[in-house]
Amino acid sequence: MRFLSQDWVVSWALLLLVSCTTYSSTALGQPENKIKTSVFLSPKLELGPGSVSNKLYYDVDFPKGHIALKSFNAELVDESGKSVPLQETYLHHWLIIRYHQPKNLSHNSQTDIVVVSNSGFCQDSVLNQYFGLGSETRETATDIPDPFGIEVGDPLEIPYGYDEKWLINVHAIDTRGVEDRTGCTECRCNLYNVTKDEDGNPLSPDYKGGLDCCPDNSQCRLMKGFYGPNQSLYLKYTVKWISYDNYVLPLKIYILDVTDVLNVSKGIGPKHNCKIEYQVEPCSKGYNSSACIDVKKTSFPMQTGGYVIYGVGHQHAGAIGSTLFGQDGGVICSSIPKYGNGSAAGNEKGYVVGMSTCYPRPGTIKIKDGETLTLEVSYSNTEMHTGVMGLFYILVAEQLSH
């Protein structure tokens, strides 16, 4: 098994981080199934002060076989294996995506790959990851309770002549020595001197910041006269899984987006247009700060329902919280950001370092087939925020027993 993928030049201290352990878990009186845990490292990220890395890494190390995923956690570490604090390098997001690839192609070829998306509503290969978080990654629970799991590697679902593989997208922004740290993490276009998108099209004058202004290899403005060394970082990711058997109840992944605009045409099924990010405008002068709250919401039908097993929101700095409602107005899950108040990795002041999660007792929260859900996302708008997100991730079981 390859643990360092494309990078073999790394210290022995980092090698000691990579391990594989096994411990037992018995689910609801069912036969014992061993939970396996492995820690892997992404290929190396090379960053200088103010620089951005936003690359796709194909064929990354991942557990093999027909398995049920039980959790996926990740964070940025340096070459010695030390956690990197957000005020030095901001982890905008990481995503893990499943795909199938013809067996006769080299591991780094992108030809003829077939992405295996989650069950969410967004179309055109948008938000198709299995797991994904950002600055909140260290303090957000991702464990899936027994007897549930996310099924992958089923040989009956892998096309003949193909292999199942995984890719990781890591978007990291080095903020050492930058002129405006918050502006860099919010990808303000004026700080990156970006006026066109990656396809060369001019950006709208109303687009003040977001993903189009902090692409791979872009540079955020540094303080005059600042010089600093380059750094080599890795995404360290920890996967827990069990062998898939008849006792595992499979879960479906749904990622909901508050920017989703549902278009319905006669004779054509509904089309979801997820924009992923949006801008929070500042409230008018003279408002009491407690009244400066930006609330965005959207509604959409869920064609196939089920029992909610897990839920969590994804938001950026300035976030107040997000809530998913059922058609009757009842709360399915609320997710509240946790802000750091220190300087150590995992407790960085002013940053969202965690999101609260929901673990309803199985069977207590059910979404009916065709039920209309409403997602509501709140941000403080005492000041402008660019490139913010309002995503919601839920795991749903269509049945509670075999």
3 state SS for 152-218: ECCCCCCCCCEEEEEEEEEEEEECCCECCHHHHHCCEHHHHCCCECCCCCECCCCCCECHHHCCCCC
**Residues 306 and 256 grouped into a single domain:** yes
Whether residue 2 lies inside any domain: the answer is no
Whether residue 147 lies inside any domain: the answer is yes
Tell me how far apart the 2 most distant CA atoms of the chain are, in Å.
65
Whether residue 1 lies inside any domain: the answer is no
Q: For the chain, what is the domain count?
A: 2
What is the share, in percent, of the chain residues with pLDDT greater than 70?
88
Backbone angles phi, psi at 348, to 5 degrees: -80, 125
How far is residue 327 CA from its own chain's centroid? 26
Strand 261-265 with 131-133, pairing: unpaired
Q: In CATH, what number is assigned to the domain containing residue 262?
A: 2.60.120.230
Determine which helix (DSSP H) or strand (DSSP E) holds 15, and give its type and residue range.
helix 12-15
Exposure letters 9-31 (e unless 16+ CB within 10 A, then b): ebeeebeebbeeeeeeeebeeee
Whether residue 393 lies inside any domain: the answer is yes
pLDDT greater than 60 at residue 9: no
User: Which spans in 260-331 are helix H?
Assistant: none
Instruction: Tell me the mean pLDDT in the region 95-109.
Output: 84
Whether residue 402 lies inside any domain: the answer is no
Whether residue 306 lies inside any domain: the answer is yes
- 128 vs 288: which has the higher pLDDT: 128
Banded pLDDT at 14 (limits 50, 70, 90): very low
- Cα–Cα distance, 332 to 310 (Å, whole number): 10
**Residues 229 and 350 grouped into a single domain:** no
Banded pLDDT at 393 (limits 50, 70, 90): very high
The pLDDT value recorded for residue 107 is 57
- Tokens 């007792």, residue located: 361
Look up the domain containing 158 and give its range. Answer: 12-243
**Residues 147 and 163 grouped into a single domain:** yes
Domain boundary among 183, 212, 243: 243
Instruction: Tell me the HSE value of 30 on the side-chain side, using a 13 A CA sphere.
Output: 15
pLDDT greater than 70 at residue 55: yes
Digit-coded pLDDT (tens) for 272-286:
899 999 999 999 865
Banded pLDDT at 106 (limits 50, 70, 90): low
The pLDDT value recorded for residue 201 is 92
Exposure letters 180-205 (e unless 16+ CB within 10 A, then b): ebbbbbbbbbebbebeeeeeeeebee
**Residues 159 and 268 grouped into a single domain:** no
The answer for residues whose C-beta is within 8 angstroms of residue 308's C-beta and 6 or more apart is 332, 333, 358, 360, 365, 366, 367, 394, 395, 396
Digit-coded pLDDT (tens) for 292-344:
999 999 999 999 999 999 999 999 999 999 999 999 999 999 999 999 999 99
**Closest by CA position to 60, among listed 94, 23, 111:** 94
The pLDDT value recorded for residue 302 is 92
Instruction: Tell me the mean pLDDT in the region 248-264.
Output: 93
Of the listed ranges 3-12, 53-62, 78-87, 222-231, the one predicted with least confidence: 3-12
Instruction: Tell me the mean pLDDT in the region 78-98.
Output: 98
- Helix (DSSP H) and strand (DSSP E) numbers for the chain: 3, 27
**Residues 53 and 163 grouped into a single domain:** yes
Token pair recorded at residue 353: 């370092």
- Cα–Cα distance, 373 to 184 (Å, whole number): 34
Strand 131-133 with 33-41, pairing: unpaired
**Residues 218 and 324 grouped into a single domain:** no
Domain boundary among 243, 262, 293: 243
What is the share, in percent, of the chain residues with pLDDT greater than 90?
79
**Residues 72 and 198 grouped into a single domain:** yes
Whether residue 369 lies inside any domain: the answer is yes
**Residues 194 and 73 grouped into a single domain:** yes
Banded pLDDT at 287 (limits 50, 70, 90): low
Of the listed ranges 14-23, 28-37, 157-166, 198-207, the one predicted with least confidence: 14-23
**Residues 305 and 393 grouped into a single domain:** yes
Counting Cβ atoms within 10 Å, is residue 43 exposed (0-12), middle (13-18) or buried (19+)?
middle
- Cα–Cα distance, 213 to 92 (Å, whole number): 13
Per the confidence metrics, is the pTM higher than 0.85?
yes
**Residues 238 and 270 grouped into a single domain:** no
Digit-coded pLDDT (tens) for 203-235:
999 999 999 999 999 999 999 999 899 999 999
DSSP per position, 29-88: TPPPEEEEEEEEEPSPEEE-TTBEEEEEE-S-----SSEEEEEEEEEEEETTSPBPPTTT
- Cα–Cα distance, 176 to 328 (Å, whole number): 48
With left for phi above 0 and alpha for psi between -120 and 50, is residue 89 left, alpha or beta? beta
Strand partners, 327: none
Token pair recorded at residue 128: 């198709």
**Residues 296 and 203 grouped into a single domain:** no
Whether residue 6 lies inside any domain: the answer is no
**Residues 279 and 140 grouped into a single domain:** no
Domain boundary among 183, 216, 243: 243
**Closest by CA position to 54, among listed 195, 209, 213, 200:** 213
